[in-house]
Structure 1
Amino acid sequence: MRSIVLTKGVPDFSEGAVSFDEDGHLERGKTPTVMNPNDGFALEAALQTRVRHGGHVSGMSMGPPSYAEVLQEAMESVYTDDSYLLTDRELAASDTWATSITLSAGLETYMEEVGDIDLVFAGFKSADGETGQTGPQTAWAMGWPIVTHVIALEIDPDERRLRAKRLVEGDVDEIETVEAPLPCFVVTDPEFEPTYRKASHRLTHKRLRAETEQRAADHEEHLTTWGHEDLNLDPEYIGLDGSPTIVSSVDPIPKAPSERDATMVDPDDPDGMTEVLDQLQPYAAGGD
């Protein structure tokens, strides 16, 4: 069973150093980057599939060279075997359409050079764009079936079919079970939780974790980098030139107004501190 997990880097908004150019495009090379949180669920689904059925899991990302660190994080957290980074200047400023075209080319190149793919896992949406388009668009470009909002899945290797439970329009109260032939795309929902019920699965999970420690430390030895020429992509159909999305403006997110009043108390004021303790005491005692 051979799987690919599509993951990306997103701006680390907690650092407060997000940089945009004069046209409103995010300058990823100047912005601290972390792995997209929703991709973690896709990685866990791929790991669960590998633990249960064996095989190989690769991480793939499109972005600047710094995204190699994101792929290394994927290897450290869910034990991917190797990584593939699609990167060069011609790919810069891609919207979801151009990104999907590039990723589909990456998957096709992978199949030509490495081997057939059974499953491609993708996160629900990214923390920066939140469009949820890249996974479905890449599946469309490949001509493969796709199952979205997946919260649990089973694979029948002999029948080469996926059976999955998915939320209906993101509603946690309504779940449907669907089937799809392999190869196919799986877009995991944040409600996805991996399960390892058998002792053999837990032992395999432990073994994979031990094997990955050294591999992740030498991540560069397991990283393959492809540019647009390696992917046989025309520059007119990728990057900014191949992106039909137009950014009209970028507005800062306003700070939410405070809904609480703050009372300043001098710690050297005995009466003030006594009043604070009197107010907190009911909560410490388990009151409401």
Structure 2
Amino acid sequence: MRTVTLTKGVPDFREGQVSFDEDGHLERGDTPTVMNPNDEPALRAALQTKIRRGGTASVMSMGPPGYGDVLREAMESVYADDLYLLSDRELAASDTWATAITLATGIQHLDETPDIVFAGFKTADGETGHTGPQTAWCLDWPMVTHVVALDVDEDAGRLRAKRLVEGDVDEIETVEAPLPAFVVTDPEFEPSYRKAAHRLQHKDLREETVERAVDHEDHMTVWDHEDLNLDPDFIGLDGSPTIVSGVDPIPKAPAERDATMISPGDADGMGELVDEMARFAGGD
């Protein structure tokens, strides 16, 4: 069983240091980056599949060289065996369509066709939810979205998934799809390890991955657009039909409170702190 999980680095908006160029494009190399939190359910689904069915788990991302740290974090989450970074200046400023073309080509460039590709339901920066479905379309694979539970019958070459259907009321729909398939996980996805053997395997894989992640670059393959034989006219800014009409930078929030530092050894200061807290404890 071979799986690939797609992940992305997104701006760390908590830092308030998001950088844009004069055309309104995000300058990712100058912006603090974290792993997209909405990819975590996809990573959990890939880990569950590896523990239950064995095989190899890979993680792939497209972005600048600094995304190696994002992939390291993903490796620690999914206990990945190897990492793939699609990185090239020609890929800069890609919209979801150009990104999907690049990711699909990267998946097709692997030495073995994956059984399942996992993706999160949207990114924390773009919020479109387009990249996963567009990548599935480029691959011409069956796709199941909003997956909250999953199992695989490798012998039959099929997966069975429960997906959340939102309407007047939330409903759960059970669907099947042939492999290879593309799975977009819902934030409600929770892995299930009912067998003791699965829980023991989980523990063993975690210990192996801690050691592997220390030298994650030794397990990372970097491909540029030439490696993937991608036409520059169909990737990056030139291959992106989306037009950004305007961007409002997010300013760093000003501090609204003054902080008083008190050392635990400062008896008078600690006494004043207790007196201050006691007023609120008493309902004042």
Same fold (TM over 0.5): yes
Gaps of 5+ in 1: 257-261, 284-288
Amino acid in the other structure paired with 1:228 = H
Give the match for residue 151 of structure 2: 154
Distance 2:137 2:214 in 1: 36
In structure 2, the partner of 1:118 is 115
State the AA in 1 paired with 2:178.
P
Distance apart, 1:173 and its partner CA? 2.8
Q: Does 1:173 align with 2:170?
A: yes
1:213 and 2:210 matched: yes
**Whole-angstrom CA distance in 2 between matches of 1:155 and 1:231:** 30
Q: What does 1:42-191 correspond to in 2, within 5 Å?
A: 42-110=42-110, 114-169=111-166, 173-191=170-188
In 2, Cα distance between the equivalents of 1:53 and 1:170? 34
Q: CA deviation at 1:76?
A: 1.6
Give the Cα–Cα distance (whole angstroms) in 1 for the partners of residues 205 and 222 of structure 2. 24
Distance 1:213 1:278, change over 3 A: closer
Q: Secondary structure at the match of 2:128?
A: coil
d(CA) in 2 for partners of 1:279 and 1:170?
Answer: 45
Paired residue type of 1:178 = V
State the shift of 1:92 in Å. 0.4
Aligned to 1:31: 31
Match of 1:286 in 2: none
Q: Distance in 2 between matches of 1:195 and 1:48?
A: 7
Alpha-carbon RMSD across the aligned residues, in angstroms, is 2.7
Taking structure 1 as reference, are residues 202 and 170 closer, same or farther at Cα in structure 2, changes over 3 Å only? farther
Distance (whole Å) between structure 1 residues aligned to residue 275 and residue 50 of structure 2: 59
Instruction: Kindly provide the amino acid, as one letter, of the partner of residue 246 in structure 2.
Output: S
How many Å apart are 1:277 and its aligned residue?
4.0
Give the 3 Å change call, closer, same or farther, for CA 255–232 of structure 1 in structure 2. closer
2:17–2:251 CA contact under 8 A, matched in 1: no
Q: TM-score, normalised by structure 1?
A: 0.88
Identity of aligned residues (%): 72
- Cα deviation per residue 1:239-285 (whole Å; 9 max; x = unaligned)? 000000000001245899xxxxx9xxxx99x9xx97974553359xx
Instruction: Name the CA shift for 1:200/1:255 in 2 (closer, same or farther; >3 Å).
Output: same
Q: Which residue identity lines up with residue 27 of structure 1 in the other structure?
A: E
- Residue 282 of structure 2 is matched in structure 1 by 281
Equivalence map 1:7-26=2 (5 Å): 7-26=7-26
Shift of 1:212: 1.0
Q: Which structure 2 residue ranges, 5 or more long, are not aligned?
A: 258-267
Contact persistence 2:72–2:216 (CA under 8 A): yes
Tell me how far apart the structure 2 counterparts of residues 255 and 29 of structure 1 sit (CA, whole Å).
Answer: 19
Q: Please point out which of 220, 232, 237 is paired with 2:234.
A: 237
How many Å apart are 1:116 and its aligned residue?
2.0
Deviation at 1:14, TM superposition (A): 1.0
SS in 1 for 2:37: coil
Residues 35-64 of structure 1 show CA distances to partners (whole Å, capped at 9, x for unaligned) of 000111100100000100000000000000
**Preserved CA contact (<8 Å) 1:151 1:189:** yes
- Paired with 1:143 and 1:169, the residues of 2 have a C-alpha distance of 25
> Hey, what's the Cα distance between the residues in 2 that align with 1:148 and 1:282?
49
Report the CA distance between 1:78 and its aligned residue.
Answer: 2.0
CA distance in 2, matches of 1:37, 1:121: 14
